[in-house]
Amino acid sequence: MIRHSKGTAVNESSEVVQSKKGDLHLEEGLQRILAAVSEYGPDLCRSYEGVAETAANIKSALSGYGYSVSLGQAEEIYAFYSQSKWASWLMGGCPTLDDANQMLVEFTNDILFGENHAEL
């Protein structure tokens, strides 16, 4: 289950009208990403180098936006991001929290305005 703890306001037509960071596009993109991984379990599946670190950093980055995800869901977010960039798993991952935050911003921008090869 994915939970949002920061109380994003939603109007009657279910449109997001306010987010923690004040960026409606980022919020919309994050919601599309999170909906895509909502069925994934809590455990990591891949054994590539850096998977656990990448998942932990993505999980922390999302908590900064008020979302709680499992490590398995965070791993799948990076897998979708990699797929959107035409890779099975992009080398390097997100070794820092700043990298994870930048990846989320880039991925949501791709989903909404750019190349959405992951079809989210």
Unique residue bearing structure tokens 């993109």:
29
Average pLDDT over residues 112-118: 80
Whole-angstrom distance, CA of residue 108 vs CA of residue 58: 13
pLDDT score for 51:
87
pLDDT score for 45:
81
**pLDDT reading at 100 higher than 50:** yes
pLDDT score for 7:
39
pLDDT score for 88:
63
At 62-91, the pLDDT tens digits run 999 899 999 999 999 999 898 888 776 788
**pLDDT reading at 32 higher than 90:** no
pLDDT over 70 for what percent of the chain?
80
Query: Which pTM value belongs to this model?
Result: 0.74
**pLDDT reading at 46 higher than 60:** yes
